[in-house]
Structure 1
Amino acid sequence: MENKNYTDDQKYIRAKKKVKAIKGFYVHFTVYLLVNAFLIVSRMFSSGGYEDLWDWQTYNTAIFWGIGILFHAFKVFGMGILLGKDWEDHKIKEFMDKDKRDSWE
C-alpha cells in the first residue's frame, strides 16, 4: 500500500511540473507577443513610418526570438505538437476515406 502512495505522489509531482512548464511557455509567448508588437509599432512611429514595415531590422528580433519560442514549445509539448500520433491517425483515416471514395467512382 505504501508503494502505491509513493507512485501517486510521483505522478502528482510530475503533473505539477508539467503544468508549471506549460504555464511558463504561455508566459514566455505572451511576453514575446507584447514586446515584439511594441518594438514594431514604436519603430514605425519613431522613424520612417510605414516604409519601415518592409525593413529587415523591424522583424529580426521577432524572427530570432520566435525560433527560441519554437524550441521552447518543442521542449514543453514535445515534437508531437506538429506531427504527433493524432496527426498520423487523422492522415491515415483521410487517405483511407479518399481511397474508399475513389474506388466507388
Structure 2
Amino acid sequence: MRTSDQENKYQRAQARVGELKEFYNHLGIYLIFVVFFLALNYFTSGYFWAIFPILGWGLGILGHAANTFRWNPFFSKDWEQRKIDEYLRNDDLK
C-alpha cells in the first residue's frame, strides 16, 4: 500500500514521463517533416525555401526542449537565490 507521499511522488514521476514522451513525439514528428520539406523542396523548386519552416519549427522545438528539460539560462536557480539573498541583505522589499 502506498502512502500519500509515495502516491504524490509517483504522480509527479508519471507526469514527468508524460512530458518527456510528448517532447520526444514532437521531435520525431519534426524530424519526419524536415525530411519531407527537404524532399519536397528538392523535387519542386530551385530556391531553398524549406529552410524557413525547418528553422521556424526548430525554434519551437528548442522552446519545448527548454521547458521539458527545465533549462533557462537567464533565470536559473542560482540567479533566483542570488536575488533573494540580495533583497534580504538590502531589506529592499517594499
TM-score normalised by length of structure 1: 0.63
Q: What percentage of residue pairs aligned between the two structures are identical?
A: 32
- Residue 45 of structure 2 is aligned to residue 47 of structure 1: yes
State the alpha-carbon separation in 2 of the partners of residues 46 and 60 from structure 1.
16
For structure 1, the 5+ residue unaligned runs are 85-105
Unaligned runs of 5+ in 2: 77-94
Alpha-carbon deviation of 1:47? 2.6
SS in structure 2 of the partner of residue 41 of structure 1: helix
Paired position in structure 1 for 2:58? 66
Partners in 2 of 1:39 and 1:76 — Cα distance?
Answer: 26
C-alpha displacement of 1:46: 1.7
Instruction: Determine the C-alpha separation between the residues in 1 that align with 2:18 and 2:71.
Output: 19
Dislocated runs of 4+, deviation >3 Å: none
Q: 2:5 aligns with which of 3, 7, 14?
A: 7
CA distance in 1, matches of 2:53, 2:29: 13
Mapped pair 1:75 → 2:75: no
2:15 matches 1:17: yes
Q: Which amino acid aligns with 2:71?
A: M
Larger Rg: 1
1:42 maps to amino acid = L
